[in-house]
């Protein structure tokens, strides 16, 4: 433990009320008083999640396009392209979000599809 070592640590194993016999007591900084210091910035980039639409045989194409416009802010052309990709390949990406945003999108899509009695499935997966 040196002055340049900023790792988290606290000195002060056994504070004495009257100090070491024969030695003056010290107050303020120095042994007996320590400040916990962080060395590196504690920020970490959040994990990201893909939100995916799954194909089925019953949900109308126009409904899927509407979902992509309404919940994923796609323009009409982009929404059409993604919908057709899902239709042709079975699965497709709607967007990439942090966990809670992705979870919210999935819930919004599933609730909306259910409300309109379509079997459309929306899922999220960690990138
Ligand atoms: N396959 C559907 C149809 O032919 C269209 C569709 C596209 C459904 C994408 C779901 O995620 C989907 N009506």
Contact of 112 with 105, CB cutoff 8 Å: no
Contacting residues for 34 by C-beta, under 8 A, at least 6 apart: 9, 10, 11, 12
Regarding the beta carbon of 53 and ligand 1, being less than 6 Å apart is answered yes
120 touches ligand 1 (CB under 6 Å): yes
Position 38 confidence tier, pLDDT thresholds 50, 70, 90: confident
Q: In degrees to the nearest 10, what's the CA dihedral of 27, 29, 31, 35?
A: 130
Q: Output the residue whose Cα is nearest ligand 1's atom 7.
A: 87
CA-nearest of 96, 93, 100 to 122 is 93
Binding site membership of 64 for ligand 1 (Cβ less than 6 Å): yes
- pLDDT(41) > 50: yes
What letter would DSSP give residue 76? H
In this predicted model, what pLDDT tens digit does every residue of 51-98 receive, in sequence order? 999 999 999 999 999 999 999 999 999 999 999 999 999 999 999 999
Query: pTM above 0.75?
Result: no
With vertex at residue 79, the alpha carbon angle to CA 73 and CA 82, rounded to the nearest 5 degrees, is: 120
**Contact (Cβ atoms closer than 8 angstroms) between residue 25 and residue 77:** no
CB contact at 8 A, 121 and 51: no
């Amino acid at each position: 433990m040196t002055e340049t070592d900023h790792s988290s640590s606290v000195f002060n194993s056994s504070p004495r009320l009257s100090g070491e016999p024969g030695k003056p007591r010290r107050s303020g900084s120095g042994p007996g008083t320590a400040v916990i210091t962080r060395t590196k910035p504690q920020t970490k980039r959040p994990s990201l999640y893909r939100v995916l639409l799954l194909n089925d045989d019953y949900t109308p194409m126009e409904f899927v396009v509407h979902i992509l416009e309404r919940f994923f802010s796609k323009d009409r052309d982009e929404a059409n392209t993604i919908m057709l990709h899902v239709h042709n390949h079975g699965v497709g990406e709607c967007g990439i979000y942090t966990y809670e945003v992705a979870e919210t999108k999935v819930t919004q899509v599933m609730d909306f599809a259910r409300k309109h009695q379509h079997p459309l499935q929306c899922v999220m997966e960690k990138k």
